[in-house]
Chain A
Amino acid sequence: MLKIKDLKATIEGKEILNGINLEVNPGEVHAIMGPNGAGKSTLANIIAGREEYEVIGGEISLEGEDIADLDPEERAHRGVFLSFQYPVEIPGVSVTNFMKTAINETRKAQGKDDMTAKDMLKMIREKSELLEIDRKFLSRSLNEGFSGGEKKRNEIFQMAMLEPKLAILDETDSGLDIDALRIVANGVNKLKNKDNATIVITHYQRLLDYIVPDFVHVLYNGRIVKSGGKELALELEKRGYDWIKEEVEA
């Protein structure tokens, strides 16, 4: 589904990604781990189309289509979803109406009519139950005054509403207490099927107890330096990242 070949990127002239190779197939869950500053969030943002980064080499394709030059919204319309590490507060726009606009703009891009109000309400009801979100919460301004946990839950709620093909969860576990983590992970797991794929970006093994990855990659200095199964995450949890750094630099 997602193919990244020798991806190199800079921000303000500084090289951050230094030849990333990654292939994600439908039905798979990939975890990307690595120390602070390794380029994990950069990779997530570049896949989603953030303009501040300059791609200076390599390819990104989704279902065989080169998406490197597409705007963020065009990628979203093709099924890319990024759950933000720091969801942005948008005063004056309610969660419900933000979702309504996002869904209908996506449908418009796909040549479909607007979703009927009835279907929209039904969907909102179902998905908010899945994330155990209080209905009152949906009429509040997007992310404004939300707690860390509420913001992350709201991200996964949006993911549930948009039903992406490729979901990238950027540090979704940060700021979550154990109950919120369980709810969020449960939501992600319920949304998983054989046709979609998930990339989980995290510092810690903890989230991977709940969202079990098929593959674990270690990102360091802008490159994937090690890949393995879920046992790699456990090893990282036990031994930290230093042995990987030593291996790379040896």
Chain B
Amino acid sequence: MSFKDHILSSFIALENEVETNNYVHKLRGEALKDFENLGIPQRKEEAYKYTSLKSLFNKDYSLFPKKETSIDYGDIKKYLIHQIDAYRIIFIDGIYSSHLSQTTHDKFDVCLMSSALNNPKYASVIENYYNKLATKDGLTSLNAAFAKEGAYIHIGKNIAVEKPIEIVYFSTGNEAEMMTQPRNLVVVGENSQVQVIERHQSLSDNAVLTNCVTEIYAAKRALVDWYKIQNDKLSASLIDHTFAEQKDNSEVRIHTFSFGGKITRNNLSFYQRGEHCNSVLNGVTIIEGKQHVDHSTLVHHTAPNCESFQEYKQIFDERAVGVFNGKVLVDKIAQKINAYQQNNNILVSDTSTINAKPQLEIFADDVRCSHGCTIGQLDDEALFYMQARGIPKKEARALLMFAFANSVLETVKIPEIKSRITKLIATKLGVEIGFDL
């Protein structure tokens, strides 16, 4: 049975489940039709020219876990930023784990999507925001058709959420081949602030495919600071679609740290719909083996006097492949904007690849748009210099790579995340030096 047929027959099972929210119920049916028409993105489409999803969609994924699995906190602690107090929304094979999570409804809502979808209290938020921002392609439609669970974060006006919210999706490998469709909705009110940490983590070597959609709405003067930590097993792949809409004077920062996984595709789209917005898209990629990381970003400036800042630092070793496709779209009305895009790459080996494509479409005439892209190697002179001072080659290489990525790491606002990322990099590079540069 082809993947498509498999999807269509699985949908019937889902259809029969009762859902309070009629809007979402209707949407599923439409989304399934869209998926039927659009299908899985192919390499002949420009957006997927350098990333083939073929090897991911030739499997017989189970779409719903047969049974609930529970895992001990001790087994997953290392994947959490456990040093800090945080709200936690944790899923195991796509099912919410109440004993690992810490949610709230006190001053704002940090909870699970299924309860928001089934509770009439949230109906108006769902109807105003759910699937209103996500653009339509085969994979976002697939997600919209099947998504049942995810994080629901709704913060009213004038609230600075006092601790970060950690969203983690674990896969246990109880199913030989599992595909999940997480769906996150984040609505942040005027003058409010929130920090979010997101991770998708497989706990076994069974094949896992995650097709995740996140919609983020930042109202006037809202601040959203988001960290994606991608350090998954070689059997796990992630196709992420994150959309952010910004109103006047808001700031949304998304940092993506990609250190592992089979194929990781990050579709990150920003829509500035108000003046004086600031969008920050930062990333560090360090991969090797046959890993593949694709960052496809879009910043759509639809209003004047805004800024966007993109900085991606990437290191590829062995046969790793990277893609950076950074698009900046400036509407005619979006005068006086300042859009910056920087993509620096180091190819450590002769067999690694980076496909870099900056793409600027500017229809306004009084703007500042700059972009830079470099591809280089580790500097042998610098290595010898460091060795001559007693720093062994492996450590010297690690230090150079770390220094290269450091400008992005310095933008991390949560110290525990910064130290976690630093440790992940040290482990990855096989060194024990502290990089307190």
Report A's interface with B, CB cutoff 8 A. 48-51, 71-73, 75-77, 81-82, 84, 87-94, 97-98, 101-103, 105-106, 109, 158, 162
Q: Does B254 contact A (CB under 8 A)?
A: no
**Chain A contacts of B395 at CB under 8 A?**
101, 105
- In the complex, 14 of the A-B residue pairs with CB atoms within 8 angstroms, ordered by the A residue number, are A71-B393, A72-B387, A73-B393, A81-B388, A82-B388, A84-B385, A84-B388, A89-B382, A97-B436, A98-B386, A101-B399, A102-B390, A105-B390, A162-B389
Task: Given A76-B390, A162-B389, check contact A50 B384 (CB 8 Å).
Answer: yes
Are B386 and A92 within 8 A (Cβ)? no
Are B388 and A72 within 8 A (Cβ)? yes
In the complex, what distance in Å separates the CA atom of A82 from the CA atom of B389?
8
* Chain B, residue nearest A168 (CB): B388
Overall SS of chain B's interface: helix
In the complex, what distance in Å separates the CA atom of A197 from the CA atom of B403?
34
- Complex partner residue of A90 from B387, B403, B433, B436, CB under 8 angstroms: B403
Q: Does B437 contact A (CB under 8 A)?
A: yes
Task: Given A49-B387, A72-B387, A82-B388, check contact A93 B381 (CB 8 Å).
Answer: no
Are A73 and B403 within 8 A (Cβ)? no
- Complex partner residue of A97 from B384, B387, B437, CB under 8 angstroms: B437
Q: How far is the CB of B196 from chain A (nearest CB, A)?
A: 27
Q: Does B400 contact A (CB under 8 A)?
A: yes
Q: How far is the CB of A159 from chain B (nearest CB, A)?
A: 10
Task: Given A73-B390, A77-B390, check contact A87 B385 (CB 8 Å).
Answer: yes
- Complex partner residue of A92 from B384, B392, B406, CB under 8 angstroms: B406
Of all A-B residue pairs in the complex, the 10 with the closest CB atoms, nearest first, are: A92-B403, A72-B387, A76-B390, A106-B390, A88-B385, A102-B389, A73-B387, A92-B406, A73-B392, A93-B403
Are B387 and A92 within 8 A (Cβ)? no
**Chain A contacts of B385 at CB under 8 A?**
84, 87-88, 90
In the complex, what distance in Å separates the CA atom of A102 from the CA atom of B391?
5
Are B389 and A98 within 8 A (Cβ)? yes
Measured as residues with beta carbon below 8 angstroms from the partner, the interface class of chain B is: 20 to 34
- Complex partner residue of B390 from A50, A94, A162, CB under 8 angstroms: A162
Are B433 and A71 within 8 A (Cβ)? no
In the complex, what distance in Å separates the CA atom of A82 from the CA atom of B404?
25
**Chain B contacts of A81 at CB under 8 A?**
388
* Chain A, residue nearest B403 (CB): A92
In the complex, what distance in Å separates the CA atom of A84 from the CA atom of B385?
8
In the complex, what distance in Å separates the CA atom of A94 from the CA atom of B402?
12
* Chain B, residue nearest A48 (CB): B388
In the complex, what distance in Å separates the CA atom of A209 from the CA atom of B433?
42
Known: A71-B392, A76-B390, A92-B402. 4 other contacts (CB 8 A): A48-B388, A91-B403, A105-B395, A105-B433
In the complex, what distance in Å separates the CA atom of A109 from the CA atom of B389?
13
**Chain B contacts of A71 at CB under 8 A?**
387, 392-393
Q: How far is the CB of B412 from chain A (nearest CB, A)?
A: 15
* Chain A, residue nearest B432 (CB): A108
In the complex, what distance in Å separates the CA atom of A102 from the CA atom of B421?
23
Task: Given A88-B379, A90-B382, A97-B436, check contact A76 B399 (CB 8 Å).
Answer: no
Q: How far is the CB of B385 from chain A (nearest CB, A)?
A: 4
Are B437 and A92 within 8 A (Cβ)? yes
